[in-house]
A and B are shown apart, each in its own frame.
Chain A
Amino acid sequence: MKRFSAAVFCLVLLMGGAFLGTVGAQDKTLTVWDIYPAGAPFRKVLDGAIERFKEANPGFAVQVVSYGDMSNYKTKFATMLAAGGKDVDVFQTWGGGQLATYARRGLVLDLTPAMKKDNWQARFSDASLEFVSADDKVWGVPVELANVLIYYNKPMFVKYGIKEPATFDELLAACQTLKQNGIIPMALSLNKAEWVGDLYYQYLVTRVGGLDPFRKAIAREPGGSFKDPAFVEAARLLQKMVDTGCFQEGFMGAEYASMRQLFAQEKAAMVLMGSWLPGQLATEAPNFLPKVDYFRFPTVSGGKGKVTEVVGGTNAAFAITKACKYPEAAQALLKEFSSEKTAADVLGVAKRLPAVKYTYNPAQIDSLTIRVANELNNSTGIQLYYDQSSTPSLAQTHLSAVAALYAKTTTPEKLAAEWEAAAEKDLK
């Protein structure tokens, strides 16, 4: 008898784990998944919005699960979705191809009716809703937008008599001057951060060929191809930057954090980065931040792109799973995420750019944030990050091809040909 009960005990122990998970979640709880760890400025912004939601909707609790890191989050999230998506109600997304993929599999709640009701959609700029739309439907609510700019160390530019470069050739000349003075012209990181290197490539393509080549190629429109000369020429210009010595020695081995360190410790003069950078520097190097200014990515001679076309996208958007038990409440939460008050916090607390229309008190917001925000508002076109606009598989192929371009283990022509071949296979 003893033996029998021991065996039963073992089996119960073994199975216990499987049952525990099902009793944990309480009724009327919304579970939110995002990437902002405790202490991050954006965490404060979202927590504030969640508090306001709870006040307006008594009886609802909100449980936040934050992962702190985008790639970690994306993996966990997709695995959870594949398992049915029952553990999460509201989730962070970057819009584009990935959100569209989930939407087409019927895993995401269609927000189009809610957007039309009470004219919720009027809160957003057209571009920001475009990032979270697919098949003429809206699937997400953008909270933050970002544009990519070249941030630079202003006193350093003054010291070496460098003006903000307006053309690609001027940029190369500025790099040479800085290099001769023992300064790293531009800090870059490619180790585990291929997307940082891709920002240069995306801008070069946009400056050489405008927004059309990528839009046509990714939509598989007639005449659209990744073999378009713009993609080849941009790759050539990128390798020219490497040859000119625009980046620090061994940049291929540097991680994202090192890149910010080089810039903040004034070892490097410039860095190409999204508008979230000043917010990061505000916590990492507050004394350095006042020295930072920006300029727009320069134009390329003979290029079709305008200087007012920016690379960017939604940095924080939120969507609701189809499996969510309280879609009404979840939508109310997302409405709070896009409220006037939240937008003011996005700008004021997190120093980031709200995706909704907003008013601000100039006395409370620093001028750099405001000028960067205006840059985005006055842009004549936005190139959504390539990795966000592509399917996950095509994005991976592209990112490692761009890394190979920097490492010179591939050629511009080969990059374009392989990209096109992958697109033909993937986007059928």
Chain B
Amino acid sequence: MTMRRRLSGDTLSTVLLFLIPAFALYAVFLVVPVFQSFRYSLFRWDGLSPLDRFVGLGNYKELLGDPVFWKSLANNSILLVFSLITQLPVAILLAVLLTDKVRMKGLFRTMFFAPQIISTVAAGYMFYYIYEPTFGILNQLLRALNLGSLAKGWLGDTNLALYAVLFVISWRFVGFYMVLFMASIEGMPVEIFEAATMDGCGKWMIVRKITLPMLRDTIKTACVLSIVGSIKYFDLIWVMTQGGPAHASELIATYMYKKTFLSWDVGYGSALAFTLFAIAFVLSSVFMKSTKSESGGKSMRKGRAR
């Protein structure tokens, strides 16, 4: 409210002018395609012939009876839970440790952030040569340790393929969240920590009672990023297994890509795309709503009250 009152007509038009390019891009590449893909999803269409076989919600009906869709949905849920319970806690731990007085801080920061800088495809191939069944490093190591019975065809095992890739995904993203948390911790007022230390707070107590509550908003952001990221995830799965073997590591996004660009069932692919959008939209808004009720500023006020 205060913002709007302060804006004169002139500044308002400036603001609008500067918003136009961003909004135009957003509309052309995001808003319009969402509606367009919903429209396509109502047709049986191969992308080449005229759009004339209207099937109504037929594609969605088929989707509900498609075991591969349910398998992908389950895999996405596993990815989501796995990401939340591994990436975030590890990232917080690293951020807390690396913002403290540690020797060779810079080296460690670079080390943990490096996986995020490596291109996805390069990371995928690097790990492929670790997982490779015959001469891959992992199996060779296991055999050298006389644990040959544990050697597996990691990316080709229907029970393990998904987790083999999940590990690499977490390895890549921990660094990203770590930087996010570090930035937030370093932005916290030093006085609070000094005061706490003077009051005789131990390190653990400071983390629990000060750092974590003050990180609350950042954690929330990280959760939303992680949830949305997991639902629409595609890259490493595509590079490492393409959803195989036999759909064992299939995600909705990879299945959508296959249906649209390999099978040329563009209508069905669009139905998958729209479903994906709906799930991501609903989940992230529910998450935002449910955490909003305990207003973001609360922890800050508590902090100040002390």
Contact = CB atoms under 8 A, between A and B. Distances in A.
Nearest to B257: A75
Given A190-B245, A250-B156, A392 B263 contact: yes
B158 A407 contact: yes
Interface of A: 3, 6-7, 10-11, 13-14, 71, 74-75, 78-79, 81-82, 101-102, 105, 107, 184, 190-192, 194, 248-255, 258, 261-262, 267, 391-393, 395-397, 400-401, 403-404, 406-407, 409-410
Nearest to B128: A255
A388 to B, nearest CB: 14
| Interface of chain B: mostly helix, strand, loop or mixed | loop
Nearest to B239: A192
Contacts of A262: 134
A400 B153 contact: no
Nearest to A402: B246
Interface stretch (B19-27, B183-191, B298-306): B19-27
Nearest to A397: B263
B154 interface: yes
Contact of B264 (A7, A392, A403, A404): A392
Given A78-B47, A392-B262, A407-B245, A254 B17 contact: no
Q: Which of B152, B161, B245: most chain A Cβ within 10 A?
A: B245
Interface string B139-155: 10000000000011111
B246 A410 contact: yes
Contacts of A254: 132-134, 153, 156
B182 to A, nearest CB: 34
B241 interface: yes
Interface of B: 13-14, 17-18, 20-21, 24-25, 46-49, 128, 131-135, 139, 151-158, 161, 241-242, 244-248, 258, 261-265
Contact of B133 (A194, A250, A403): A250
A249 B244 contact: no
B157 A253 contact: yes
B61 to A, nearest CB: 14
Contacts, number: 129
Contacts of A395: 263
Contact of B153 (A10, A75, A78, A249): A249
B48 A71 contact: no
A411 to B, nearest CB: 13
A288 B245 CA distance: 31
Contacts of B157: 250, 252-253
A82 B155 CA distance: 34
Given A248-B134, A249-B153, A254-B156, 13 more contacts: A7-B18, A75-B262, A78-B261, A190-B244, A192-B242, A249-B151, A253-B132, A253-B154, A253-B155, A253-B156, A392-B262, A400-B246, A404-B245
A3 B17 contact: yes
B156 A267 contact: no
**List of 8 A-B pairs having minimum Cβ-Cβ separation, nearest first:** A250-B153, A252-B156, A250-B133, A253-B156, A253-B153, A404-B246, A393-B263, A253-B155
B134 A400 contact: no
A255 B135 CA distance: 12
B262 A396 contact: yes
A49 B99 CA distance: 63
B47 A82 contact: yes
Contacts of A393: 263-265
Contact of B48 (A10, A82, A267, A407): A82
A50 B24 CA distance: 44
Contacts of B132: 253-255, 258
Contacts of B49: 105
Nearest to A9: B21
A342 B152 CA distance: 46
